[in-house]
Structure 1
């Protein structure tokens, strides 16, 4: 903090260089966030969530397995928020969804093609499990992408929170504009 005293004993508190730099940095950070630099990640996350939910609709008409019973495509596609807590929750739920998809695909392999004697086509269960497995593989891929995006988003939000939080007390302690102090009249 810089202080100047004039001949008439007026004390003037000048702007602190560090406080000015801090204020400028905080304003630049706010401007960058308002410009929407993380918008592409948020849009990607929302689009992946919508794709996961829409691709999972045909699973409702196939055999009910762990993925369908737990509703994995629906709750893993809905965890799309931009705050840090929900982003961390999204990452954790995406990892859980990846595990459930993997276990479900391991527990329910494709059914072998049993050709019928009438028209030399495979039975319906073969086609149903083939469709189900293909959809689950696609959903697993989308959920992995969502996990990566959520993790990156969490990292960026956490880093921004730490870089701003440590300077919050400095801006409250020092005034942002110069103030003039006049000495009391002793006569």
Structure 2
């Protein structure tokens, strides 16, 4: 806090340098984050999460495999929606605390996306499409069509999850870079006034 005393004993409380610096850096942080467009990334993640959950519904009517038993589309889709909502909130309320929360959720989403990709890949390799066995009507068996549908849906879910992995990784990189650049200002507070104030001593006559 800077104080200036004039000749008439009027005390002038000047602007706090740290408070001004904090305000400037917060504005710079907001501008830097908005350049990364977290809102667009967040909307993309929400849409991917909803698509993963909706596309997985047909799997419940085909052969039940490890993907359905472990509920991979549901917990991965919910995680995608969650990190997308947090990214949208970060775009509107840009603070270091929100940035750190978004970074942690994005890291968790990236890890879970990789786990989901591994589960999808293993499941598809363990459950290939059943060969076409001709029936009396001349068409393939129901098992062939069921496994073919299941593999097609899982392939779509795998592509969505790979896209989510890439988006989460990009968002993690952007947020980590911004936290490293602006993290040193998170401990500053607005305890001091940001505008000059005049303190006039009492009249002792």
Note closer, same or farther for the CA distance 1:92–1:31 as it changes in structure 2 (3 Å cut): same
The aligned residue for residue 166 of structure 1 is 184
Are 2:25 and 2:185, in contact at CA under 8 Å, matched by a contact in 1? no
TM-fit CA distance, 1:31: 7.3
The aligned residue for residue 13 of structure 1 is 13
The two structures have a TM-score, normalised by structure 1, of 0.81
The aligned residue for residue 26 of structure 1 is 26
* Residue 114 (1) aligns with residue 141 (2): no
The aligned residue for residue 151 of structure 1 is 169
The aligned residue for residue 67 of structure 1 is 67
TM-fit CA distance, 1:29: 4.1
The aligned residue for residue 130 of structure 1 is 148
Mapped partners of 2:127, 2:65: distance in 1: 8
The aligned residue for residue 55 of structure 2 is 55
Report the number of matched residues.
Answer: 186
Are 2:120 and 2:158, in contact at CA under 8 Å, matched by a contact in 1? yes
Mapped partners of 1:65, 1:124: distance in 2: 17
TM-fit CA distance, 1:104: 0.4
**Residues 15-68 of structure 1: CA deviation (Å, up to 9, x unaligned):** 35664343133145457879x942211111111111111111110011111111
Are 1:10 and 1:182, in contact at CA under 8 Å, matched by a contact in 2? yes
TM-fit CA distance, 1:12: 2.3
The aligned residue for residue 160 of structure 2 is 142
